[in-house]
């Protein structure tokens, strides 16, 4: 077999080893440091972006909490103004126009509705049905 002849295969092995070593040294000493610098730069870029993102998220979260706190304080002040000052009317009758049981029932209904207004419970409010006294409805 001529392709396995020692005189033919020896120069091919020599050139293979020579080309491989030249290619290996070119890659290791010239291209590999360039690739490693690029990879390190990308890793640092990603790290800096993650730190910036986490700082930005923390600042936004603190800002959001401050806004919610201020909003809750303002809503509480509005509730106090509307429901503590406007809805709590005190009637002073010279003589009692209604029976005592009716007044107690009205007081309980008024307390329940004012508390449900205060806690903003629309389900409870929709379940209560109010009728004028002259209709005499019983439900």
Closest CA to 78 of 70, 15, 12, 138: 70
Quick: pLDDT tens for 52-100.
Answer: 999 999 999 999 999 999 988 888 887 777 766 665 555 555 555 556 6
- Within 10 A of 36 (CB to CB), how many other CB atoms are there? 10
In the chain, where are the structural domains located?
Answer: 16-86, 89-139
Q: Is 118 exposed, middle or buried (0-12, 13-18, 19+ CB in 10 A)?
A: middle
Pairwise CA distance, residues 49 & 51, whole Å: 5
Quick: pLDDT tens for 37-58.
Answer: 999 999 999 999 999 999 999 9
Mean pLDDT of the region 9-24: 92
The residue that leads in pLDDT, 138 or 113, is: 113
């Amino acid at each position: 077999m001529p392709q396995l002849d020692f005189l033919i295969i020896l120069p091919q092995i020599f050139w293979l080893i020579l080309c491989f070593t030249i290619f290996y040294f070119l890659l290791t000493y010239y291209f590999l440091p360039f690739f490693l610098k690029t990879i390190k730069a990308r890793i640092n870029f990603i790290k800096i972006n993650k730190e910036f993102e986490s700082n930005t998220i923390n600042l936004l979260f603190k800002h959001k909490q401050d806004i919610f706190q201020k909003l809750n304080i303002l809503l509480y002040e509005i509730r106090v103004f509307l429901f503590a000052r406007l809805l709590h009317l005190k009637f002073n009758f010279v003589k009692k126009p209604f029976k005592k049981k009716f007044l107690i029932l009205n007081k309980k209904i008024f307390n329940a509705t004012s508390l449900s207004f205060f806690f903003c419970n629309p389900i409870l409010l929709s379940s209560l049905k109010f009728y004028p006294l002259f209709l005499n409805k019983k439900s």
